[in-house]
Chains A and B, each alone.
Chain A
């Protein structure tokens, strides 16, 4: 959500708090548990657990964000309703009826809750800047996997907190909420959502790597986020844009960060479009992963922990 991201622009305390806290509750600093089987799984399971506990301390913030986040959502729905009414009965915008348009925004909210990077990019950048990553260089923990676990735990917590208010809200609008056309669409939707989450995470991770070279990364993150916000379909469904613009957009990674899974769910991407889309999405996931790894390896060479 826009506001959440913008909040970070001024809100530094939260990040600072979390990095402070990671000193005490960091899995790397806590006494090593005795591993009996499959130490790698256990290690990261431990990270996941602690991530969830850490995030739970912010449950009230999550709830406030969700509830306040519903207000602009309602506003946008009102605006579209007025536009449809102004066009007369059975009006269609692009390929959307009013119900489909409202469903679109509800689905965007759901997919966003499932996949959006919350504060991970700021925390990663802060870890690099403050020298917190030094410990990961010394210990058998892969920083990317570690952050991925924290990202996952953040999403789990967020969904746990927001599921009920969000479900109630959708229930109120259920007469506008369309169901997926068939089971294949639903299945592909979930696959696509997972890839969306991966793409979001790797992109943010790669952006945060800028902290190795630049003192202040937040502006760069925001500039990317601005493009992401409009070109991924947060503001409006991308297929109401002029055709030429759409075709260009679909070769960029942006639509696959939000719009694509929603369009699968709504049956707007089917058949060969669907297959092609999934392949392009998978390509972007692999590509962003490669960039993330590459940037880390380059960054580490330059990294010097000052006073660490």
Chain B
């Protein structure tokens, strides 16, 4: 997490760092092998991995400047996670089931939702919200000039390390919920390896959906200066993602399944573990929606980028 007091300093140091890396990479390929520009010494993959590891190092350095702050943010996130769990605890004081979802199944769902959200937060959230600042201040110029894919560097510049810690807490909660669901007989058997593998794959798919949608929203910054309100509106959608899908009906359910697939993002991975019987068709739907969302967001990004005129300074 960046230090909210001085957003300027770390930001510029990231782009400095990134540009230094790439400047280092490109001249060496053109100077040492002048007449063989086609076979580059590095494959694109290793080059991008190299850049990404530099961005990681930068994020680690930044976090370590404010150690106590870093730890306090982890506490804050944990508190909010506990808060969601206690909400479910209170609901289940008064009922045994929401649709067909029982208590520990919903705890599992909350865990899965938090796991996905935290990983998304770790990789993408800050970067998505920073986009409107980059556009507003014209700092995007520097990123456009770098010899890398702009979407790559815009999306992955900063890593939120604290979120990884919170993701492991979410995993632990899920394991405990599975255990309790098994003990209380809410699920007939503990998930097998295939289910667990499927769960993690679908989590990645869910993260791709969150990322694609929020990046699409962030691209609105190219059209209006104050897009942050909209980008932040997306945060409300995380609240839906952790609700059991069977609670919803009608237009609301249709919209948040097929247009903005929030009801799929964490419900489907959770279903694979606790309601395996019906999970296959849902998994395919989630997969399809993620491909669609990513395609739409790439299209939106390209269409928006064409409007970029930089800031007046």
Contact = CB atoms under 8 A, between A and B. Distances in A.
Interface of A: 1-4, 6-7, 9-14, 16, 58, 60-65, 67-69, 71-72, 74-75, 78-79, 81-83, 86-87, 93-94, 129, 215-216, 218-220, 222-223, 226-227, 229-230, 235-236, 240-242
B287 interface: no
Contacts of A67: 233
Nearest to B255: A71
B90 A10 contact: no
Contact of B7 (A13, A69, A242): A13
Given A11-B232, A216-B66, A83 B239 contact: no
A124 B12 CA distance: 27
Interface in B228-261: 228-230, 232-240, 243-244, 246-249, 252
B152 interface: no
A86 B229 contact: no
A78 B252 contact: yes
Interface of chain B, main secondary structure: helix
A220 B76 CA distance: 9
B233 A68 contact: yes
Main secondary structure of the interface of A (DSSP, over half): helix
B229 to A, nearest CB: 3
Nearest to A236: B90
B98 interface: yes
Interface residues of B, number: 52
Nearest to A94: B94
Contacts of A71: 236-237, 239-240
A220 B72 CA distance: 8
A223 B76 contact: yes
Given A2-B239, A93-B94, A13 B229 contact: no
Contact of A69 (B76, B90, B136, B236): B236
Q: Which 10 A-B pairs have the closest CB atoms?
A: A68-B233, A61-B229, A64-B229, A219-B72, A72-B239, A7-B232, A3-B235, A12-B4, A226-B79, A82-B247
Contacts of B235: 3, 6-7, 68
